[in-house]
Structure 1
Amino acid sequence: MPPKADPETLQLRKELEELYQKLQEDQKKVADVTFESACSGVADAPKMRLVTRKLMKGHINKVNSVHYSGDSRHCVSGSLDGKLIIWDTYTGNKVQVIPLRSAWVMSVAFAPSGNFVACGGMDNMCTVYDVNNRDTSGAAKMVRELAGYEGFLSSCRFLEDKKILTGSGDMKICMWDLESGRKTEDFPAHNGDVVAISLSPDGNTYVTGSVDKTCRLWDIREQSPKQTFFGHESDVNSVCFHPGGQAFVTGSEDKSARLFDIRSDQQVALYQPPNKTSGFTSCGLTLSGRYLLCGSDDNNVHIWDTLKNQHSGVLSGHENRVTSLTVAQNGLAVVTSSWDQHVRVWG
């Protein structure tokens, strides 16, 4: 049984809920048009026909995370088998296998340059590897172990080769200088585990998702959020910036995906699967932002036309929960990872 909250905490929670409700009412008052009606004149998008181009086998346990390199060709996957694998998505071949000190990997990141990969998880640490340098065993050289978290590492993203941003189960965001191995920022970000980070296209801002059911927009140079977005009724498992930089999408445990508009400071669209029984673990947008893809615990990737709010079908093939989804920077392919131990390239 969880400990009973004291009366003061209960009162503060009640006040917070009331504030949220008032904000939502105020937002509704200024919402003079619905997203669907604003997009009613837009022509229907053609059906998205993606098929598995490569089925990449190599892991021998659940694959929890996958992330594309900036070259739109290579990607890195992290598995509970204690390995990172760097793949060539064109050929489906393994480029490198990196053994980890801890098998409990939850998040991986590829530097946009393709020079470094990072990972972390239940070891409460972010570990960075130089893919261009090998250690004595022939694997990519570990260049940094970033420790000092009081919770698991849930998300990491490179700002550049020498800077990385991390979110963790201790509700904090940290920024690290990889040359010195020191934190340059360390601050509380949410009222629950920070589980997802997405960088804006210009790299000046980023958005976070949390188990506190909210998303927050941050400026890279500041320690307080610019905006807080709410609407989800359960954990926000994934966030992804819109290519236009003025909106972002989310995937949540509450069996919905949503589109939040930064300028109007609120949710503008709600996307639900036809069966309404699928919780979403991951999300991504195509290069135009017209299609939303969400990895689900029903083993499929669900697709929507974002403007028309039409469910456009599913990508099926995985035999267990889809854990992570990453879209190539050039927009030509999508890579997914799953508890079925496989990584798939769709195109």
Structure 2
Amino acid sequence: MSVAELKERHMAATQTLNALTHKLKQKRLLLLDTDLSGYARSQGKSPVTFGPTDLVCCRTLQGHTGKVYSLDWTSEKNRIVSASQDGRLIVWNALTSQKTHAIKLPCAWVMTCAFSPGGQSVACGGLDSVCSIFSLNSPSDKDGNLPVSRMLNGHKGYVSSCQYVPDEDTHLITASGDQTCVLWDITTGLRTSVFGGEFQSGHTGDVLSVSINGSNSRMFVSGSCDSTVRLWDTRVASRAVRTFHGHEGDVNTVRFFPDGHRFGTGSDDGTCRLFDIRTGHQLQEYSRPHGDNEVPHVTSIAFSISGRLLFAGYTNGDCYVWDTLLAKVVLDLGSLQNSHDGRISCLGLSGDGSALCTGSWDTSLKIWAFGGHRAVI
């Protein structure tokens, strides 16, 4: 068989596959007779209500001299690590606002940071295509800087996101502009598995975010510039378990729902969405109508402990609190006193759900405390 005939057969097979994929998508849409908010309304659910003192800014963390790009809480809730364009990681005591570490980075163009589950190490990555690990217990060098304890080399593009595997200080997953995700063994510095890349089921654009399932750490999702989210099983790196469609722009952020059966997304198309990993269906879209002006992009999301609230940061400085059941905005932190002056670039909830931290291009971080009963929502 000639090369031309092989190419012709390949093109025909690709067209058939695309046609079947489209037909399957249409069949799935026909099965969806309602969404989450429609069902909740039919059950008589009422939206969450917020009073003026239910969520207040109780701390402003100042110390960075550049745009804040990423933050993460420790599991014991009292410390935060933040990464900034000033080329530093700062570890904060969230209760006192004091800085416990200010780490000068090998590459100033940092994009992501994460605490280890035990809280003794922090990881970061950026445009140098390397994920750097710092042990907070290491002695400082003669210049007062904390040395890098491990450099994870292997990506061929910038490192956009990193997250430690829950309850494991020795493994983490990174996402990269090289269209792959990598599971690393930090002890050896070697790649355990590569997800995507040469595999056809991988992403076809830069991977921007990852989230590991807290209920099953073998499963994680990745969001990409190809407008899709993919579900992966760390035991089977050769193919994605499932691909989720729906967004019409870059998927900037993904986050698992507390029960591990669903996950949320945020995109350049200005929407957040909720997907079910078991059915592959979109359960809900969270969006507000906008005028003729440019639609603000969603940069970061987080769920409350119960999953009833979805926090979403936007490029225009808004930070909406969505009622996930009824798809209604119940509060905009951007309208409250002491709110940020610039783009909300990152946010995260403390381990016990009692506080929210937001980071911004205005170079500051803010801690928002829940009043009374709000801690259990």
TM class by shorter-chain length?
A: over 0.9
Counterpart amino acid of 2:227? K
User: 2:217 matched to 1:211?
Assistant: no
**What pairs with 1:136-155 in structure 2 (closer than 5 Å)?**
136=141, 137-155=143-161
Distance 1:70 1:20 in 2: 41
Are the counterparts in 2 of residues 77 and 84 from structure 1 also a CA contact under 8 Å? yes
In structure 2, the residue corresponding to 1:289 is in which secondary structure?
A: coil
Are the counterparts in 2 of residues 64 and 339 from structure 1 also a CA contact under 8 Å? yes
- Which structure dedicates a bigger proportion of its chain to strand? 1
- Between stretches 27-36 and 14-23, larger displacement belongs to 14-23
TM-score (norm: length of structure 1): 0.92
State the partner residue of 1:36.
37
Distance 1:21 1:97 in 2: 51
Runs of 4+ in 1 over 6 A off after TM superposition: 8-17
User: 2:354 matched to 1:332?
Assistant: yes
* Contiguous gaps of at least 5 residues in structure 2: 1-8, 197-201, 370-377
**What pairs with 1:1-347 in structure 2 (closer than 5 Å)?**
21-40=22-41, 41=43, 42-47=45-50, 49-136=54-141, 137-159=143-165, 160-188=168-196, 189-202=202-215, 203-223=217-237, 224-275=239-290, 277-316=295-334, 317-347=339-369
In structure 1, the residue corresponding to 2:30 is in which secondary structure?
A: helix
Are the counterparts in 2 of residues 132 and 140 from structure 1 also a CA contact under 8 Å? no
Shift of 1:258: 0.5
Are the counterparts in 2 of residues 283 and 294 from structure 1 also a CA contact under 8 Å? yes
Distance 2:19 2:330 in 1: 37
Distance 1:145 1:177 in 2: 11
Task: Count the aligned residue pairs.
Answer: 341
Shift of 1:12: 9.9
Cα gap change, 1:259 to 1:139, in 2 (>3 Å): same
Are the counterparts in 2 of residues 64 and 106 from structure 1 also a CA contact under 8 Å? yes
State the partner residue of 1:3.
none
Larger-Rg structure: 2
Q: Percent identity?
A: 36
Distance 1:274 1:88 in 2: 39
Cα gap change, 1:275 to 1:133, in 2 (>3 Å): same
Are the counterparts in 1 of residues 49 and 330 from structure 2 also a CA contact under 8 Å? no
Cα gap change, 1:21 to 1:303, in 2 (>3 Å): farther
Deviations 1:4-25 (A, max 9, x none): xxxx999999888756643331
State the partner residue of 1:5.
none
Distance 2:84 2:235 in 1: 33
Cα gap change, 1:275 to 1:149, in 2 (>3 Å): same
Cα gap change, 1:77 to 1:14, in 2 (>3 Å): farther
Distance 2:15 2:360 in 1: 39
Deviations 1:16-51 (A, max 9, x none): 875664333111222244322321222332327322
Counterpart amino acid of 1:45? V
